[in-house]
Amino acid sequence: MERKVFVLAGSATLTLAISPSLKGELRELNWVNWSEETRRFLEERVRKLKLLKKLDTMTKDSRLTEEDIMEIGAKINKGIAKRHGIKV
């Protein structure tokens, strides 16, 4: 495996191993700034994981079933679609 080094915001370095085939694919897309793409991906992933952790904390004592949650989610999605003029 080849190691790639990415510099994140000038303050930290991340090294990861990638397969030779992935390296070839990245090389084919040589106009892409992979450091920036990786940084953005990691920032978004961290944001989502923090949100999931917060949701887990908020719902840890919930008595709702998965079915209840799916039903509530469907109603919310319909309301959002209606507000934005999207037919479902």
Model confidence band, residue 14 (pLDDT cutoffs 50, 70, 90): confident
**Total structural domains in the chain?**
1
The amino acid that residue 33 corresponds to is N
Locate tokens 């908020």: which residue?
58
Q: Domain containing 65: what range?
A: 2-83
Residue 11 has pLDDT above 80, yes or no: no
Whether residue 37 lies inside any domain: the answer is yes
Distance CA 82, CA 88 (A): 8
Whether residue 30 lies inside any domain: the answer is yes
Query: Hey, is 8 helix, strand or coil?
Result: strand
Residue 86 has pLDDT above 60, yes or no: yes
Reading the block at residue 24, the tokens are: 């070839």
Whether residue 88 lies inside any domain: the answer is no
Name the β-bridge partners of 72.
none
Per-residue pLDDT of 23-79, as tens digits, reads: 999 999 999 999 999 999 999 999 999 999 999 999 889 999 989 999 999 999 999
Alpha-carbon dihedral angle through residues 77, 79, 83, 88, given to the nearest 10 degrees: 60
Whether residue 54 lies inside any domain: the answer is yes
Q: Which pTM does this prediction carry?
A: 0.62
